[in-house]
Structure 1
């Protein structure tokens, strides 16, 4: 209790100190930035958090690639855990990593530096996502600078940081209608003028769709084993421990299944369940990841919150059947019993029980497995097209 009181007290003091230092730090940043403007010439600036592996990061790399002909400059605001996607970004843009230098005190110094750099480029566009620096920068940008942000999912806290900037954001991109509704509700609750909602644009993500004639018969492909895949982080909302529990239950029942986990998730699985899982670690190589999807039958996600995960799109592109909790915008694309399966986001014990039932049904019903697999692939082919994705972003940025 005493520790909490001390933490709150120290945090309050730091916040007051930062407020006091804001103006001097911005002025110092502007002075430093004035010596750099000639080096940062572009009509398009991106502000992204990371270049380590992740669904959002893959989307950011794809957007940058779509607009590489404009020679964009990308600033990474936060410290990345790995160099996984750094090379991919470098192929499309000039990049600068501020992650090692950025912190709550220096954020206003960087706002001064970066606003000076950006403001020196007339009629340019600034595009940001998932980082506080971008929203702290916006108030210092000249009125002629076009500002756009992207919201992957509502509820992580960044939507509250962005709220004071709503009237300065010329466009706001969301990836599903659920987030669109959430933003509109936030506007209503906070007295934001209704016409601000007209600036919100829906652009769904995309993935590479391989040329397949249809999903292969999973038993012929994998023998008697049904391969169940998890791809992602081990963060709290992903509830990867439930994947471990489900794997343990399936093995207790001697079900012909194999659980394969991609990502840095081993520590997220309770030790007693790890013997039932195969851990492949973090995989950066897209070719290797494609091979894993192509040899898998089921993608399993049991998250407590999501936007619309890129891993579902990637899995569907290979005819992998998704079993997921019904959260975020997932139900906009996964239609229960048609191209995947949705589980109610209720108690963890019921989630485990219901996932187990579906796996058991798919093992005994090969026809259903193949039917849903094919529907998933056809849906991905129709809806997750990258040409449409790039076209929409070019129109968003340049109006044509």
Structure 2
């Protein structure tokens, strides 16, 4: 079975890197942590992103607890770094050691350092891995008594990276039904023992619900929020705007993903980090658009629905569980041709009347209040971290 071979490979690698890990353990004994921590959070980045937004919310769920947050990959910017700050939180960026391929031995040494810091805490801490490669490699070096929890946002490269390390995790958090099903299929295909499926917990992301949801003076019909990476197919949003004769707004560093001949139909707001400015931009639009080829369940749909925006999206991931045609938005097949997606999206934008959007607005605000609250999100994570 593939899973067994992956475990053997991990065991051999552990033997080969042992001298570096033990050097790290000695360094940690020489330079121990100066404080005691209840929780260790391992995240890759603090630049702008949906995953980073979720991580920052998790980091603020435990008032009264001492938390050490370690960032292990070089971030593109510091836009969201402040979002991780809270009373009791200590933030350390160790990426210059853990994310340098030319000095990779530092990554191995830091596994020993981090493992010893955690193991020597007087009270048993909780270790949380937010889809962080370093934390997976670290997990095997921690004592069995340390409770480890992982969060995986979607079915991606980490779905394979994590397989040799899942025995070390007490709980696996996933955010969408589609992601759970795809991981279960992977488990069966690779021969992962059936018991590990029982460790998976579905915990949907939550968002701070806005108190004021009144629409502002309309600037643009369509709004896209997110990255400009290939799977997002941002150019389709611009093409829909052009075909429908409207302007689309874009929050995020996406201008390079839009062909020049479509930019006349776009308004680029760039990366935004101030909650008040983001809220205002949402409320100046009427439809949130997602054209991805793959998704989990985007937080931007939650944020848009909470402010009354209708949804125009491909039916990827868990989006169909929350968006109903002609009730709170409209879905188009994510595997359809780009030409058909553009045509269908443009037709809908032209057909939607103010009364239709007003009805969808009320439906979405009500739905968001019922399903996307931070209270439900916080209760689920606190229950995982500190069982009664």
* TM-score relative to the length of structure 2: 0.91
Structure 1: any 5+ residue segments left out of the alignment?
Answer: 1-17
Distance across 2 between alignment mates of 1:227 and 1:38: 52
1:176–1:332 Cα contact (<8 Å) kept: no
| Match of residue 229 from structure 1 | 223
| Match of residue 54 from structure 1 | 49
Distance across 1 between alignment mates of 2:16 and 2:234: 42
| Match of residue 183 from structure 1 | 183
| Mapping of residues 211-222 of structure 1, within 5 Å | 211-212=211-212, 216=215, 221-222=217-218
Deviations 1:57-104 (A, max 9, x none): 111111111124212111011111111121121225101101222235
Distance across 1 between alignment mates of 2:42 and 2:146: 14
Distance across 2 between alignment mates of 1:340 and 1:68: 38
Q: Tell me, what secondary structure is at the counterpart of 1:88?
A: helix
Instruction: Give the count of matched residue pairs.
Output: 370
Structure 1 residue 371: deviation in Å? 0.9
Deviations 1:111-140 (A, max 9, x none): 111111111124211000222101000010
Q: Relative to 1, partners in 2 of residues 1:215 and 1:340: Cα closer, same or farther, differing over 3 Å?
A: farther
| Match of residue 210 from structure 2 | 210
| Mapping of residues 315-394 of structure 1, within 5 Å | 315-345=304-334, 346-362=336-352, 365-394=353-382
Distance across 2 between alignment mates of 1:149 and 1:20: 24
| Match of residue 9 from structure 2 | none
Deviations 1:271-297 (A, max 9, x none): 111121111100011100001111110
Structure 1 residue 215: deviation in Å? 5.7
| Match of residue 8 from structure 1 | none
| Match of residue 201 from structure 2 | 201
Deviations 1:339-359 (A, max 9, x none): 221110111111111111111
| Mapping of residues 131-142 of structure 1, within 5 Å | 131-142=132-143
Q: Tell me, what secondary structure is at the counterpart of 1:66?
A: coil
Deviations 1:167-217 (A, max 9, x none): 2110011111111112222221122221221111111111121235x765x
Structure 1 residue 151: deviation in Å? 1.1
| Match of residue 6 from structure 2 | none
Q: Tell me, what secondary structure is at the counterpart of 1:182?
A: helix
Distance across 2 between alignment mates of 1:41 and 1:133: 22
Distance across 2 between alignment mates of 1:245 and 1:283: 23
Structure 1 residue 165: deviation in Å? 1.2
| Mapping of residues 45-194 of structure 1, within 5 Å | 45-92=40-87, 93-103=89-99, 104=101, 105=104, 106-121=106-121, 122-154=123-155, 156-194=156-194
Distance across 2 between alignment mates of 1:20 and 1:195: 27
Structure 2: any 5+ residue segments left out of the alignment?
Answer: 1-12
Structure 1 residue 52: deviation in Å? 1.0
Distance across 2 between alignment mates of 1:211 and 1:137: 42
Q: CA-atom RMSD, angstroms?
A: 1.9
| Match of residue 14 from structure 1 | none
Distance across 2 between alignment mates of 1:390 and 1:367: 36
Structure 1 residue 258: deviation in Å? 2.2
